[in-house]
């Protein structure tokens, strides 16, 4: 089970803005828990900017598990998700795998080390910068 702290920001734009910090084991159950929290915070809206800090997570995800999980769900694809990695290469590599799987399933997502760069990317209304 993941411990998730969140902050919901109402913006003048039509997009919801959510910041999440998730700690614990990031496996398929943890990924499900994160998506449930995102949808709860964005009031099941189909668009939102999500800053997801996974720097303190322990990764236990396999590409096939991610693909199977996403294929079985109907999560809104309108969210723009910035994944924050710890400054360790194995974290960035694991989040890059997660990002690639989410991109294949129609999500707009990118991985960052720097929160300021991630926030700037979320402000830009274009697609993923991978």
* Number of domain units in the chain: 1
* 130 found inside a domain: no
Q: Distance between CA 46 and CA 40 in Å, rounded?
A: 11
Confidence grade of residue 12 (pLDDT, cut at 50, 70, 90): low
Residue 117 clears pLDDT 90, i.e. is over it:
yes
Q: For residue 84, tell me if it sits in a domain.
A: yes
Residues of the domain holding 100:
3-123
In a domain, 129, yes or no: no
Is 103 part of any domain?
yes
Structure confidence by residue, pLDDT tens digits, 32-74? 998 888 877 776 555 778 899 998 898 888 888 988 988 888 7
Q: Do residues 58 and 21 lie in contact, with contact meaning Cβ atoms separated by under 8 Å?
A: no
* 62 domain-assigned: yes
Q: Domain with 22 in it: what CATH number? A: 3.30.750
Burial class (CB in 10 A: 0-12, 13-18, 19+), 92: middle
Over residues 82-102, the pLDDT tens digits come to 999 888 777 788 889 999 999
Q: Does the residue 24 lie in any domain?
A: yes
């Amino acid at each position: 089970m993941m411990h998730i702290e969140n902050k919901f920001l109402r913006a003048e734009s039509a997009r919801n803005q959510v910041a999440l910090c998730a700690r614990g084991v990031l496996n398929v159950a943890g990924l499900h828990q994160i998506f449930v929290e995102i949808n709860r915070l964005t009031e099941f809206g189909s668009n939102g900017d999500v800053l997801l800090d996974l720097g303190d997570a322990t990764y236990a995800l396999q590409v096939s598990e991610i693909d199977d999980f996403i294929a079985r769900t109907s999560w809104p694809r309108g969210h723009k998700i910035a994944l924050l990695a710890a400054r360790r290469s194995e974290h960035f590599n694991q989040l890059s795998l997660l990002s690639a799987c989410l991109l294949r399933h129609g999500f707009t997502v990118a991985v960052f080390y720097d929160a300021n760069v991630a926030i700037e990317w979320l402000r830009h209304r274009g697609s993923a910068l991978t």
